A and B are shown apart, each in its own frame.
Chain A
Amino acid sequence: MTLVKEAPVRPAKKRSAAPAAGRRGRRRENLAGYLFMSPWIAGFLLLTAGPMIASLYYAFTSYNLFTPPKWVGLDNFTTMFQDPRWQKSVEVTLKYVVVATPLKLLLALGVALLLAQRRRGQALYRAAFYMPSLIGASVSVGFVWRALFSDDAVVDRTQKIFGVDVGGWIGNPDYVLYSLVALSIWQFGAPMVIFLAGLKQVPQELYEAAEMDGAGPLRRFWNITLPMISPVLFFNVLLESIHAFQVFGSAYVVSDTRCGPADATLVYTCYLYQKGFKEAQMGFASAMAWTLVVAVALVTAVLFWSQKKWVHYEEAAK
């Protein structure tokens, strides 16, 4: 809220240039602005800022919901870093993020390139490819995935036909995480649509000029398409990796609520859920949550820093 106080300077200056806005009019505008935003302001204070402060406090306490929080300093963090299950959850989550995000974006870009060509029935294809993104989050699809990937089920049997036998996916600690990765990749529709919108903005003249100069399709993709859509690519990388860090439902449902076997799908939020809501260790869970916030903030910062090197923004304003 302290931030709000700094604001008057800039907008006030701007307004002095606007004609016919008297002091009373200005005050009325301010009042109207805050009245219209009052639901959001209440929500922000009550459900965002307040809880943030509370969870920061809980992170340094031992709190089981039934007795008042007890200050324990950095204890939660030191136990957490030494906790083998926490370490496992970090490992599982990182593996998930690093494998699922690039594969999903690759498929999204590939299909977007396919759909960017003007063809009959384009809209229908686009809609069909987008559908998994909407239903993918439901428990139903978790069940379907379980049925498809369980031992001796469709996926298992099909790959045996090709002579590959991994001994099932759902029951196998080495493979079960990849069934979740597959579920994530399957929902490539949202980044695909964003890629498509980006591809449509690339000026056709560039391709025509490059073709005149004798550039082949691969070269055109590398030297024109990729730089031109790099802002959209950046947006997708950012959004998808942040999402991937927070995966929960699919891990919980597909691996039968235990996030296993052998903690193989113990994604970060699954462990957080177990600690907070099964074991009522609210302090520990809050410490975990803040560690996640820091991790996500770091990833975001690194991505923003790296964009100078590979994201090309056009000089001309849109």
Chain B
Amino acid sequence: MAFRSSSTRWQFRQPSVIPGFGLALGVTLTWLTLIVLIPLSGLIWRSSGLGWSKFFALASDERTVNALTISFGTAFVAAVINLVFGVVLAWVLVRYRFPGKRVIDAMVDLPFALPTAVAGIALTTLYAPNGWIGSLLEPLGIKIAFTPAGIVVALVFVGLPFVVRTVQPVMEEIDKEVEEAAATLGASRYQTISRVLLPGLLPAGLTGFALAFARGVGEYGSVIFIAGNLPYVSEIAPLLIIIRLEEFNYPAATAIAAVMLLISFMMLLVINTIQSWSRRRYGYGA
């Protein structure tokens, strides 16, 4: 486990077995600039052409706000669902042995590999009122496809591996003895889970949550088929960006994108802060 004392924390040159720190840092910065910073600053630059008042008018437009609310809201709900079930899944995969475990373990990664549009079409086929699942829910009055619930389903699908894959290795690190020690000291099972195990998993869980959330906010392909795309009801922000582009309105499109970027960045910042706090508090986590 990486351990840094506070005295070495701000040291610029860290001793390492891998040689060429200067070169490695140079490559890192160049690569990041080329691949991430230049495209993103292009985005900011293009939207800055609008001027502040127009930018605010576009960003606070009712439809934009609505689309952003739907995008961030559904992504949040989906990430919460993924956090809960991702941890359970990781738990099962780490702690139990059963036939077909490796297959299930591999299946977790499928949403990474599948083109999201394909996932979207498949999910819509299942959840549409005449689909396998949709036709069972329809008599109960539950509508999934073509409602915000459909967006959540799609985002749960694409976000699932993020939580499982970040929690899994940390869970493997927690020794079984910790649980046994808690049990011998008289803790109930609930206490063992809530006081001993979960705090240690919190940083990793939050990382997975943040990744799934960020992915959900930006997701387009899988959502566009299942959402129904009704303005003010199930129109996501990425679709609104596409709509602005279809109007050849590049500045408005980049304005919405810039707002999304800003909100996402702030949320990641908050989550990172919580994470580093809990890492210091509990000491677990990669």
A, B in one complex: no
